[in-house]
Structures are given as structure tokens and as C-alpha cells.
A and B are shown apart, each in its own frame.
Chain A
Amino acid sequence: MPATTLEARDLTKAFAGPPLFSGLSFRAEKGFLAVKGRNGSGKTTLLKILAALAHPSSGSVSVRRGAEELSGDARRLAVGWAGPDLAFYEDFSAVENLRFLSRAGGRPAGGADLARRLEEVGLTGALDRRVGAFSTGMKQRLKIAFSLLFDPPVLLLDEPMIGLDTDGRAIVERVVAAKRGEGLVVLASNDPRDFASPDQVVELGK
């Protein structure tokens, strides 16, 4: 399987005012790309643009497998994302949420597969509990599970450690370590502790 590349060309984003960032370009293939910057510097917006959840004001983002540029469903499946704005259906359980999202995404996951994924983020005890009753830390773990749902070659994590206890942090670190070996991890955070020897750094707000 050829490597999946993430490339940003001349990205600019403005919300009715001066640009949050402009002329941003980078290319990443394998490993760990750290996105640094103070609060409000545009990290969340950048990651959303990379995840195709938002459009840049100008510039482009491309996700390529080998020479072929991915679009539509292929791109959606190739890029996993978790961020502060992500939320789940509170009336459903963790399993029901992931099952629905996997079906909606066109790759329905079976009960055993879902149980395994939830176990990997330490939510085994809460499989059938309503997400509405989850703590912040539990919701954060579910977000991590969601980002990995389609085993994407590119993983975008926006502030993944929020609300997590020591065990939770360890889970995220494990996920990042595993993914950087076989694909690309892009991690945005305020906290320098979250960046364990990145291969590339993008700094916003400069």
C-alpha cells in the first residue's frame, strides 16, 4: 500500500477580519507532526480544514495515496479526526454511537469489532451506558475511539488529552506511538508535554 501524504498549499483562513493564518504550506508523509500555537492561534480551525470539515479562505489541502489524490468517501475514510467540537448522541450508548457512525460511513462494524475498539480506549465497563451519563474523560476516550474507527492512515488529534486522567493519557500516547510508525499523526495542543519528539512542527500565531 503506497504511503498516504497530507499536503497543505498556501492555506489562508479569515473569519470576517484579519487572517488567522496565511500562506501556510507543509507536506507530511509518515510520523508525527506537531501543531503548536497559543489559544486562538487557529489550531482547531487548521485541523478542521485538514479534516475537510471546513474550507480555507484560499489555498488547498490534498490527501494523496501514492500519486492519486483522494476525494469524497475515500478521503473521509483515510483521515480520522477528534477535536473539542466533536460530540456524540447523548441518548445512545457508546456502542450505538460508533455502530451508527460506522454504518453512516459505509463501513459497518460488528459488535465484536466495536467492543474491541472501546476496550482499547478503556471504555469496556461503559459499553451500554448512555453517553449523556459519561464524564468528560470518558467522552474524550470515545472521541479517540471515533478517530480510529476506520483505521485511517492519517490521524488528526486536536487537544486529545483534555479531561483525561493518567490512564487516559497513557492510552493516547500509545495510540500516537503506534500510528506514527505506520502512518501519519497530526497533533495540536497547547501543552508541550503532549509532543514526544515530533518529526515535524508547524507553529501558528507567529
Chain B
Amino acid sequence: MGEGEKRSAGAVRRVWAICAKDAAQELRRRVAAASIFFFAATAVTLVSFAVGPFGLPSEARDRVCSALLWIILFFCAATGLPRAFVREEETGTAFALRKVVSSSLTLAGKTLFNYLLFLAITAVTVPAFSILLEWRMGSVGALAAVVVLGGYGLSVVSTFLAALVARASQKNVLFVVISFPLLLPLLLSAISATIEAAGGSSPATALRVIVAYDGAATCAAYLLASAAWED
């Protein structure tokens, strides 16, 4: 293997080590998963009581349900994803991490963990949501694509901003305030794509925007990681 390849293989292993550590911590305590799960359960139940029994025409139902779904997913992210960095700062382990590994790789590892956590939550929440709201999905494959691609963007931006709020006060409110303007374009595209998927048509245009957003956010987060998390 050449030097460059060795370095990249090493970087991947390090990112994986960080992700695995967060996963191991989560498995022992289950705080993030539990808080996201309870939030999602409450929100979905509330929405299904309010919207479910009423016969909305299918076009309106698609719009309303898509919007509600992504609102719930946004707040799930806001509830559970910032913990990745906040806990490191609060317990003081952030110093050990900063001493041994760069901010960019740390961010990558935590983003990976948050993304996997998010996918795990959506695997339960989205089916429950569509069942309780009697929301017939035109194309499940397209919906899965929207969740996978949109969820990635949501995770990248949320994890980056988590690094910022970890060292600020009023973390919960601050996170929602600073993430909302940045995530809105992503959420709007995800909602349109979900509406199209529900209707059975191809969400290709919206997905293209989401992929572009994901790419831009990933590069920006990687480059700005040390400005966000180091002193």
C-alpha cells in the first residue's frame, strides 16, 4: 500500500473507532435513543389522534403527513443528536479526544454514529407513523431513498452544530435556533420528495437537490470542524 492509501485506511479505522465507542456508550446507557424514542412516540401518537381519524382527501393527506413527518424527525434529531458532543464536554473527556485525534475525524466519527442512530429511529417511526395515520405510500423505495439521503444531511448539519452548542450555554434552545435556518432548505426538499413518493411519482428532482446539499454540508463540516470545536 502506498503512503496515501495507508493514511486513508488509518483514517477510516479511526473514524470507525470513534463511532463504535459512541455506540458502545449508547448501548450501556441508552439515553439518546430513549429520549428520541419517547419524543417520537409522543409526537406520532398526538398527531395520529388529531389527524388520523379525519378523512382528508389524498392529496391534502400526503402534504400534511409529509410535513408532519419531517417536523417530527427534525425535533427527534434536535433531541438526540447533540448529545454526541455535549456529553464529551460535560464529562471532560473532550480533552482526551482532542489530544489524540483531529476535529475533522472526530466529527466524521460522531456524524456516522448519529446517522446510524437516526436511521434506526426512522426504521421504527416512519412505519408507525404511516400505519397510525393510515397513510398509503405510493412508492416505499422512493420514501426509503428520501429518508436515507435526507437523514444524512440532517445528521451532518446537526452533528456539526452540536459541536458548536457543546461549548455554549442554553444548548437546547440554541440548537433549535441555529439549526432551523440551515436545515430548512433540506427539510423543504425532503417534504416535497416525500409527497412525491407518497403519490407514487419519482422524487428525482428533489433528491438531486438533497444530494447536492448533503455534499456541500459534508465538505463544509469537514473543513470547519476545528473552528467549531477547538479553542
Contacts and interface: CB of A to CB of B under 8 A. Distances in A.
Touching chains A and B, CB distance < 8 Å: yes
A100 B13 CA distance: 11
Interface in B112-166: none
A134 B231 CA distance: 29
Interface in B78-123: 91-93, 95-102, 105-106, 109
A183 B13 CA distance: 30
B95 A53 contact: yes
Contacts of B98: 53
Given A91-B25, A91-B29, A100-B21, A53 B14 contact: no
Nearest to B29: A91
Interface string A42-84: 0000000001011100000000000000001100100001010
Interface residues of B, number: 27
B10 interface: yes
B224 interface: no
Contacts of A89: 21, 25, 91, 93
B102 A72 contact: yes
Range class of the A interface residue count: 20 to 34
B29 A73 contact: no
A87 B101 contact: no
Contacts of B204: none
Contact of B100 (A85, A92, A105): A105
B16 to A, nearest CB: 9
A90 interface: yes
Given A72-B102, A73-B102, A106 B96 contact: no
A101 B100 contact: yes
A146 B97 CA distance: 11
Interface of B: 10-11, 13-14, 17-18, 21, 24-25, 28-29, 91-93, 95-102, 105-106, 109, 230-231
Interface of A: 51, 53-55, 72-73, 76, 81, 83, 85-92, 100-106, 108, 146, 149
